Amino acid sequence: MAHHPKVSPNELRFAYYFLRAMHGNVNNAYLLLAVVAWLRATTPRGQRWVGNNPLLMVSRTGALLRFSSIQAAAQAAANRMLAGRAALGYKPLIYRIREAVTSDADKKQQALDFVNRLALSYWDPLHYGLGWYAVFDTFDPTNSQQQALNRIFNIYVKLPGMRFTLPADLFPTPKVHEPKEPPKPKQPLSIRHVHVPPDYLLPYAAYHFLVDRQWTPETLPGDPVVK
pLDDT band at residue 29 under the 50/70/90 scheme? very high
User: Residue 106 burial (CB < 10 Å; 0-12/13-18/19+)?
Assistant: middle
pLDDT at 4: 46
- 98: phi then psi, degrees, rounded to nearest 5: -90, -5
Mean pLDDT of the chain: 83
Structure-model confidence comparison of residues 56 and 170, the more confident one: 56
Tens of pLDDT along 181-203?
777 777 665 555 556 666 666 66
pLDDT band at residue 218 under the 50/70/90 scheme? low
Contacts of 44 (CB under 8 A, 6+ apart): none
In whole angstroms, give the CA distance from residue 71 to residue 179: 34
Tens of pLDDT along 204-215?
666 665 555 555
Neighbours of 192 (CB within 10 A): 8
Residue 24 pLDDT > 90: yes
pLDDT band at residue 163 under the 50/70/90 scheme? confident
DSSP string, 176-222: PPPPPPPPPPPPPGGG---PPPP-TTHHHHHHHHHHHH---GGGSTT
pLDDT at 173: 64
31 within 8 A of 114, measured Cβ to Cβ: yes
pLDDT at 191: 57
pLDDT at 77: 96
In whole angstroms, give the CA distance from residue 103 to residue 97: 14
* Three-point CA angle 176, 185, 197, nearest 5°: 145
| φ/ψ bin of 40: left (φ > 0), alpha (ψ from -120 to 50), beta (otherwise) | alpha
Residue 3 pLDDT > 50: no
pLDDT at 211: 59
pLDDT band at residue 220 under the 50/70/90 scheme? low
| φ/ψ bin of 54: left (φ > 0), alpha (ψ from -120 to 50), beta (otherwise) | alpha
pLDDT at 212: 58
Tens of pLDDT along 114-135?
999 999 988 998 899 998 888 8
pLDDT at 1: 40
* Three-point CA angle 88, 94, 99, nearest 5°: 160
pLDDT at 204: 62
SS3 58: strand
Where exactly are the structural domains of the chain? 9-160
pLDDT band at residue 168 under the 50/70/90 scheme? confident
Residue 224 pLDDT > 60: no
pLDDT at 165: 82
> What mean pLDDT is predicted for residues 102-125?
93
Helices (H) and strands (E) counted in the chain, each on its own, are 9, 0
pLDDT at 135: 81
